[in-house]
Amino acid sequence: MSQLEIKIGGFGGQGVILAGEIVGRAAAIFDGREATLTRSFGPEARGGAASAQVIISTEKIYYPYVTRPEILIVMSQEAHRRFSGELSPGGTLLIESDLVRVGEINPSQRLFGIPATRLAEELGRKIVLNMVMLGFFTAVTSVVGADSMRKAISESVPRGTADLNLRAFQRGYDYGVDEMKKAGSSG
């Protein structure tokens, strides 16, 4: 991989921006690669559209904006509607399967879903659905190392919440590992 573009979309309150920050931190600080983050959100703090765009590279990044993401993570139907057309051919689409309905996708693209909100609620806090998604992303794509993600999470979440956030990450990671086993046995 010389350069990889990732876009994360959802609505305000789902932790989209924090998720992007964690991916970038894990790649840049703990995996030793270059990374950029740009973010966008509506004027409403909660409920409005939000997105984080991360570029990870083994070389210097000269243009920090995502133009054609190879990985698209969507946690709301609105994010899917707005961003799914940007996913590159051969790209990977990760969805919050309880909140996002997907029609047809390009046959060259891969689709994986996780009920992240439900899994977060089972842990006692719906707000950690972003960490569940990050665990899923890590297991399905292997773009950033799991240990690097755990370290970035520990450094990025509010004091006193690291244990819950790491449990949420692990829940998503384990779900992703299981999904990849199923995909491997069916293909």
pLDDT of 38 strictly over 70 = yes
Q: What percent of the chain has pLDDT over 70?
A: 94
SS3 state at 82: helix
The pTM for the full model equals: 0.94
Summarize the confidence of residues 140-153 as an average pLDDT. 97
**Arithmetic mean of pLDDT, 43-71:** 87
Q: With 80 as the cut, is the pLDDT of residue 120 above it? A: yes
User: Does residue 187 register a pLDDT over 60?
Assistant: no
DSSP state, residue 159:
T
Among the residue ranges 16-20, 102-106, 115-119, the one predicted with the least confidence is 102-106
H and E: helices and strands count for the chain: 6, 6
What is the helix (H) or strand (E) element at residue 78, kind and residue range? helix 77-83
Would you state the pLDDT for residue 160? Answer: 95
Q: Tell me the three state secondary structure of residue 144.
A: coil
CB 32 within 8 A of CB 149: no
What pLDDT shows up at residue 186?
Answer: 61
pLDDT at residue 183 in the model: 83
CA distances from 5 to 36, 37, 118, 123 (A): 10, 10, 28, 31
Name the DSSP letter for residue 46.
S
- Say yes or no to pLDDT of 165 above 90: yes
* Confidence at residue 13, expressed as pLDDT on a 0 to 100 scale: 86
CB 132 within 8 A of CB 172: yes
3-state DSSP call for residue 25?
Answer: helix
Tell me the domains of the chain and their CATH numbers.
3-186 (3.40.920.10)
When pLDDT is averaged across residues 141-156 and rounded to a whole number, the result is 97
Mean pLDDT for the chain?
93
